[in-house]
Amino acid sequence: MNTAEEHGIFNVKVPDADSLADYELNLKRQAVNGDAEASRDLNHFLSLSGDELTKLARFLRDEDGSYSDQIEETVDDLEEKGGGKKNFENLDVEVALEEVTNPEISNSNFTTYAASNSVLTRSVSVTTTVKFLGLTMSKTKVAGRYQAKNNRATKVLSTGCTVQANNNPLESISSKKNSAYISNGKASFECKVVVTRYALVKNKRTKLSTRSGIQYVTGSGAGKVLSKGWR
């Protein structure tokens, strides 16, 4: 495997070289711990050209917030379309808003037991993934478990708010429960996600900005995702 120095990081101007080196270190730590996606990203990162490294450094810094604005607009667009993926070739950005398949969400299960009025456990979850140049930058997940009877959600059991990936050394992401409730036979789960961006000033991180949003998912009594997105 090539080292960062061999493939050109240290030919990139400071502080870009520092942010790229820190990004590589983040991937290495995860790969050592057995993260297959991080291992793939690390190999891809080490194959980037000098021009691509410069683009990546610009994305990591995003000092004017232009990438962040574009990502927010893309998520809103995907929400209106019911999810999926969207690529911006001119920006090398890919955003995905996708449901996560869960064995508990079984239509055959529901059909079998619905007639007997059994109380069933359902779960729904959705992830939002941001990639740049094919590299995973961030991934957040909202998940919920609930009980259902007669094809209607009846009781919230648990809410999960998870930052599954955050590989940008100039960004911190947190996610915590905002709300979970039953309404009109549907179960809704919300997570408040806070993103803080930093700049490297004399080798120290200085806060630039903070953004927050509510990541949500709503499930039916049958365990299907009815709506998902951000607000």
Q: What is the pLDDT of residue 9?
A: 42
Q: Do 40 and 152 belong together in one domain?
A: no
From residue 133, alpha-carbon distances to 79, 87, 195 in Å are 23, 10, 21
Q: What is the pLDDT of residue 88?
A: 57
Last residue of one domain, picked from the residues 61, 88, 105: 61
Last residue of one domain, picked from the residues 61, 79, 105: 61
Q: What predicted TM-score, i.e. pTM, was given to this entire model? A: 0.81
Answer yes or no: is 101 within a domain.
yes
Q: Do 83 and 191 belong together in one domain?
A: yes
Last residue of one domain, picked from the residues 25, 43, 61: 61
Q: Do 80 and 54 belong together in one domain?
A: no
3/216 Cα distance (integer angstroms): 40
Answer yes or no: is 1 within a domain.
no
Question: For residues 95 and 71, is the Cβ–Cβ distance under 8 A?
Answer: yes
Q: Looking at this protein, which amino acid is placed at residue 115?
A: A
Q: Do 138 and 56 belong together in one domain?
A: no
Long-range contacts of 180-185 (CB under 8 A, 24+ apart): 180/144, 180/156, 181/156, 182/146, 182/153, 182/154, 182/155, 182/156, 185/151, 185/152, 185/153, 185/220, 185/221
Q: Do 125 and 218 belong together in one domain?
A: yes
Number of domains in the chain: 2
Q: What is the pLDDT of residue 19?
A: 86
Q: Do 120 and 24 belong together in one domain?
A: no
Q: Do 123 and 22 belong together in one domain?
A: no
How large is the average pLDDT for residues 26-30?
94
Answer yes or no: is 39 within a domain.
yes
Q: Do 31 and 133 belong together in one domain?
A: no
Answer yes or no: is 186 within a domain.
yes
Q: Do 130 and 49 belong together in one domain?
A: no
230/141 Cα distance (integer angstroms): 12
Q: Do 24 and 119 belong together in one domain?
A: no
Cis peptide before 169 (omega within 30 of 0): no
Question: For residues 27 and 167, is the Cβ–Cβ distance under 8 A?
Answer: yes
Query: To the nearest whole percent, how much of the chain has pLDDT over 70?
Result: 81
Segments forming the whole domain that contains residue 186: 66-230
Q: Give 18's contacts (C-beta < 8 A, 6+ positions apart).
A: 200, 203
Q: Do 172 and 185 belong together in one domain?
A: yes
The radius of gyration computed from the CA coordinates of the chain, to the nearest angstrom, equals: 20
Answer yes or no: is 4 within a domain.
no
Q: Do 97 and 53 belong together in one domain?
A: no
Altogether, the residues listed in the chain come to a count of: 231
pLDDT tens-digit readout, 75-125: 777 777 777 766 655 557 788 888 864 544 433 333 334 444 789 999 999
pLDDT tens-digit readout, 29-61: 999 999 999 999 999 999 999 999 999 998 998
Answer yes or no: is 21 within a domain.
yes
